[in-house]
């Protein structure tokens, strides 16, 4: 059953929205992901993920103030919804359960003898 479905990049995006809290808008999210993960992020991929998360009800957006620097367009800010928080908790708990279920021996590194 797919109770909550978060793709890997969607998870990164929603976690980053949480990190940025009241300052989560497109460019700030992109920069934060790139800085923290040393990973290039295209604005197209980010906008697609934000749209999917909003369509799922995991985040919501609102417009900020209009600024001259943005040619009269407002920044679009994002915040996590209650449903989004549940999806994040479900994802974290699932990952932690999987990690706990791996036998220690499966993660031991074997050194090859010469």
Q: Domain residue spans in the chain?
A: 8-87
Rounded (5°) CA angle 46-89-35:
35
**Span 35-42, mean pLDDT?**
96
CATH number of this structure's domain 8-87, picked from the four choices 1.10.10.10, 3.20.20.210, 3.30.390.50, 3.40.710.10 = 1.10.10.10
Q: 113 in the Ramachandran plot: left (φ > 0), alpha (ψ -120 to 50) or beta?
A: beta
**Span 88-93, mean pLDDT?**
95
% residues pLDDT > 70 (the chain): 95
pLDDT mean across residues, the chain: 92
What confidence tens digit (pLDDT) does each residue in 8-24 have? 999 999 999 999 999 99
């Amino acid at each position: 059953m797919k109770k909550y479905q978060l793709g890997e990049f969607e998870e990164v995006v929603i976690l980053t929205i949480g990190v940025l809290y009241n300052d989560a808008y497109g460019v700030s999210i992109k920069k934060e992901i790139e800085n923290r993960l040393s990973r290039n992020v295209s604005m197209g991929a980010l906008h697609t993920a934000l749209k999917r998360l909003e369509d799922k009800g995991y985040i919501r957006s609102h417009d900020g103030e209009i600024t001259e620097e943005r040619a009269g367009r407002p920044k679009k800010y994002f915040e996590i919804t209650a449903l989004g928080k549940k999806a994040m908790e479900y994802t974290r708990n699932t990952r932690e359960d999987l990690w706990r279920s791996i036998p220690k021996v499966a993660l031991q590194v074997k050194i090859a003898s010469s």
